[in-house]
Amino acid sequence: MSLLLTVIGAGMGVGAAGFSRSRRSKAAAKRLGRAVRRTDQAPESRSTGLVERLDERYQDWVQKRLDPMIVGRTRTDQMARLSGRESRVLSAEERRGNRNLALSLSASVLTGTSYLAHLPWLLPGVWGIALYAMWPLLQQSWYLAVHERRFSLLHLLVLYLGAMWLSGYFLIGSLGLILIALNRKLELLSQTVTRTQLTQLFGEQPQRVWVLMDGVEVEIPFTRLGAGHVLVLNAGQPIPVDGVVVAGAAVVDQHRLTGESQPVDKSVGDPVLAATLVLAGRLQVRVEKTGSETVAAKIALVLDDTVRRQQVRFSDQFRRLEKTKWVMLPAGALGWVVGGPTAMAAMFGCNYLMSLIPLRLLTLLNGLKSAAERGLLIKDGRALERLPGVDTIVFDKTGTLTLEVPTVAAVHPVSGWDAHAVLTYAAAAEAHQSHPIAQAIVAEAARLGLALPALGHAAVEVGRGLTTDIGGSRVSVGSERFLRELGLDPGDDLDETRGRVSALGHTLVYVALDQAVIGAVELAAGLRPEAAETVAWLAGLGLKRYILSGDQDAPTRALTKALGLDDCFANVLPAQKAERIKALQQQGARVCFIGDGINDAIALRQADVSISLSGATTVATDAAQIVLMDNDLRQMRLLWALASGFELSLNENARLARRFSLGAAGWVLLFPFKFLAVELFWGAQAPGQDAPW
């Protein structure tokens, strides 16, 4: 039975009420954490434990069985792939919504039993459930009237629903409770935000770490690590703290936090940050900040606060459409004159804007399913509505327009040597290394078909480079500082090259044979194969295009010029990225930001529409509204097509709703069964809400 589609819109109010959403997510997370840990605490009462176990089983069933039926198995699997776990950690709001759905079903059963078995004493229970389900809606209506002093469509909706219950339409009302709860659930599923990731440090933290105590390396639990400890880190390990290097040297990849395109050298006295990675070498780091005090964790707190501030109430979502609320007042008065109070309340339900809410949601959910099947994970359906209005595209540079693994831009031999010989020695020395620089050099040698001589013995890493024996000769590969530490002089042959490469933001890896430098390999961030094509297509749409990067100015401007973008912003810190986006918005721009790193997360939250790629950091995919699951920028064409189709579908829905609104109003004024007729008119609009392709 297609009943109470208008009431579906009330679920927006139930879930979007500012009161419930103003509760801090951290407090909810703490409560959830306490619930999870109760098995390790003192036993509680048997009844409480039973209720909790039943609730956990029910929540698990809803997530594994019901949710995939609603949003599609493909989209559910994509969410699991991004989170790295089979089931999401449900927020307190989602869990409450699932419980409301069960209670609403109970109300329908109680109402039906009361009528069929003539048990009127069951109806007070139905009233109690109805009041519980609609309480947030009543709260928000009160807040709008008393605190904001404004009249809203929400008030008309409350009057309509209240009159229905007071008029004795209990069965329709109880079925409406199901639709209220179901609508709220659909709304949450169409605006999925993995908040649990935002309040945690980025990536998996180690269970145990090695620290230096009295000159001896000791393994301790990570939770015991504190300021003043000296943490020992080896190649391949993520850095979980903010600190200062007190011994050793290493190459550290910090592009996902700072946006720098190339790894950086770290030695004694240099700072290191959490959420970065040791690529090569070995470090001893004096811990200065852990947990919530690190730079990365502070970004997480800003993100968490942004999530809360971006929640929108039902009445605010449709504020620009509320002009018809004044038309409905004389319509209600006409209903009173013709048919009394019942007709007046039923006329309030004839407002076509109320039916647009569930119609929009039905179309949206079908679109999300189809998008997921085509490799687009749309976590927040509101992005589809905003996308056609976007006039500015802002790209992150490193990892979004460029590839994470660098490429060999050129080989610069010194006088008396050729490029192939320099590359051969460099590739042979790096052949057994796994960091990106080594991979790029070895890959270039393989592309050119160079035969690599065998290593005399295993390479010895010394932080910024390595030294090994090849064919009886000593080969050293690394940075300029590394060679100078070995007593080798890079000479004057590469001075001009060094300056030019530095200005471009590229990296020089020097190659020395015995005691002489024979050349250098120039490394640059490789451009995504589809980047130029995608940027050109966006230019054809008439959109402004920018780069927003934490990388140096020279490489950022070089890429801006190469791709034909309008402008760029370089050397931008993570928090400043969001400020840049905000500044563009204050100038009237509607911004779509595309990023992949931890340093992009706040800007992703600030933008009107945010996009990330499936290979991005967990924080970026958490923060983004849309994820390109094929890790290909060309999927943006498909996304724009979907958004355009969705906009057309909404316009068609509006035209359809106006016609049915007039039909419903005519029935209310002329015929009986007024509430039932209104719901049947709205229900007749539901079929045919297909995916907007």
In this structure, the answer to whether residues 441 and 565 fall within a common structural domain is no
610, β-bridge pairs: 593
In this structure, the answer to whether residues 395 and 428 fall within a common structural domain is no
Rounded to whole angstroms, the Cα distance separating 625 from 635 reads 15
In this structure, the answer to whether residues 423 and 360 fall within a common structural domain is no
Q: 405, 400, 396, 395: which is closest to 525 by C-alpha?
A: 405
Q: Is the pLDDT of residue 72 over 80?
A: yes
Q: Is the pLDDT of residue 687 over 80?
A: no
In this structure, the answer to whether residues 170 and 44 fall within a common structural domain is yes
In this structure, the answer to whether residues 443 and 474 fall within a common structural domain is yes
User: Where is the domain boundary, 505, 527, 549?
Assistant: 527
Q: 582, 570, 584, 623: which is closest to 600 by C-alpha?
A: 623
pLDDT digits (tens, 9 = 90+) for 491-531: 778 888 888 887 777 889 999 998 899 999 999 888 899 99
Give the three-state DSSP class for 37: helix
The pLDDT value given to residue 262 = 65
Phi-psi region of 18 (alpha: psi -120 to 50; beta: other; left: phi over 0): alpha
Helix axes 5-16, 153-166, angle to 10 degrees: 120
- For residue 249, tell me if it sits in a domain: yes
The pLDDT value given to residue 461 = 60
The pLDDT value given to residue 34 = 40
Rounded to whole angstroms, the Cα distance separating 635 from 257 reads 25
The pLDDT value given to residue 83 = 67
Backbone angles phi, psi at 79, to 5 degrees: -65, -40
The answer to whether 520 and 497 have CB atoms below 8 angstroms apart is yes
The pLDDT value given to residue 187 = 75
pLDDT digits (tens, 9 = 90+) for 355-368: 666 677 777 778 88
Rounded to whole angstroms, the Cα distance separating 18 from 625 reads 21
Give the start-end residues of each E strand in 194-293: 208-213, 216-221, 230-234, 238-239, 242-253, 264-266, 271-272, 276-289
The pLDDT value given to residue 285 = 92
- For residue 455, tell me if it sits in a domain: yes
Rounded to whole angstroms, the Cα distance separating 507 from 435 reads 14
The answer to whether 419 and 522 have CB atoms below 8 angstroms apart is no
Q: Band the pLDDT of 475: cuts 50, 70, 90.
A: very high
- For residue 635, tell me if it sits in a domain: no
Least confident of 163-177, 222-236, 368-382: 163-177
Q: Is the pTM of this model over 0.85?
A: no
- For residue 611, tell me if it sits in a domain: yes
In this structure, the answer to whether residues 49 and 159 fall within a common structural domain is yes
What sign for the dihedral angle of Cα 186, 192, 193, 197?
A: positive
**Residues 536-560: b if buried by 16+ CB within 10 A, e if exposed:** ebbbeeebbbbbbbbbbebbbbbbb
Q: What percent of the chain has pLDDT over 90?
A: 19
Which structural domain, as residue segments, surrounds residue 242? 208-293
- For residue 440, tell me if it sits in a domain: yes
Backbone angles phi, psi at 398, to 5 degrees: -75, 120
H helix and E strand count, the chain = 29, 21
In this structure, the answer to whether residues 520 and 533 fall within a common structural domain is no
Angle at 611 between CA 606 and CA 613, to 5 degrees: 135
The 10 Å Cβ neighbour count of residue 259 is: 30
- For residue 171, tell me if it sits in a domain: yes
pLDDT digits (tens, 9 = 90+) for 221-237: 888 888 889 999 987 78
- Who wins on pLDDT, 355 or 210? 210
Q: Band the pLDDT of 542: cuts 50, 70, 90.
A: very high
In this structure, the answer to whether residues 20 and 130 fall within a common structural domain is yes
Q: Band the pLDDT of 304: cuts 50, 70, 90.
A: low
Residue whose tokens read 């390109």: 628
Q: Is the pLDDT of residue 42 over 50?
A: no
Q: Is the pLDDT of residue 40 over 80?
A: no
The pLDDT value given to residue 299 = 64
Residue whose tokens read 């480079």: 465
3-state class percentages of the chain: helix first, strand second, coil last, to nearest 5: 55, 20, 25
Residue whose tokens read 């029910």: 58
In this structure, the answer to whether residues 458 and 522 fall within a common structural domain is yes
- For residue 633, tell me if it sits in a domain: no
Q: Is the pLDDT of residue 642 over 50?
A: yes
CATH number for the domain spanning 272: value is: 2.70.150.10
Q: Where are the alpha helices (DSSP H) in 84-122?
A: 92-117
pLDDT digits (tens, 9 = 90+) for 102-148: 888 888 888 888 888 888 888 888 888 888 878 877 888 898 889 88
The pLDDT value given to residue 531 = 94
CATH number for the domain spanning 513: value is: 3.40.1110.10
Rounded to whole angstroms, the Cα distance separating 407 from 423 reads 13
- For residue 692, tell me if it sits in a domain: no
CATH number for the domain spanning 559: value is: 3.40.50.1000
Give the three-state DSSP class for 420: helix
Rounded to whole angstroms, the Cα distance separating 13 from 11 reads 5
User: Where is the domain boundary, 235, 260, 293?
Assistant: 293
Rounded to whole angstroms, the Cα distance separating 617 from 595 reads 10
Q: Is the pLDDT of residue 3 over 60?
A: no
The answer to whether 232 and 217 have CB atoms below 8 angstroms apart is yes
Tell me the one-letter amino acid at 227.
A
In this structure, the answer to whether residues 173 and 226 fall within a common structural domain is no
Q: Is the pLDDT of residue 632 over 70?
A: yes
User: Where is the domain boundary, 293, 323, 351?
Assistant: 293
The pLDDT value given to residue 487 = 86
In this structure, the answer to whether residues 31 and 171 fall within a common structural domain is yes
Q: 664, 637, 453, 419: which is closest to 536 by C-alpha?
A: 637
**Mean pLDDT in the chain?**
79
The pLDDT value given to residue 558 = 86
Give the three-state DSSP class for 306: helix
The structural domain count of the chain equals 4
Q: Band the pLDDT of 423: cuts 50, 70, 90.
A: very high
Rounded to whole angstroms, the Cα distance separating 561 from 568 reads 9
Rounded to whole angstroms, the Cα distance separating 22 from 7 reads 24
Residue whose tokens read 């904001």: 148
**Residues 454-489: b if buried by 16+ CB within 10 A, e if exposed:** ebeeebebbbbbbbbebeeeebbbbbbebbebeebe
Rounded to whole angstroms, the Cα distance separating 99 from 54 reads 11
Give the three-state DSSP class for 404: strand
Among the ranges 174-183, 533-542, 547-556, 677-686, which has the highest mean pLDDT value?
Answer: 533-542
Task: To the nearest 10°, report the CA torsion of 479, 481, 486, 487.
Answer: 120
In this structure, the answer to whether residues 660 and 650 fall within a common structural domain is yes
- Who wins on pLDDT, 580 or 76? 580
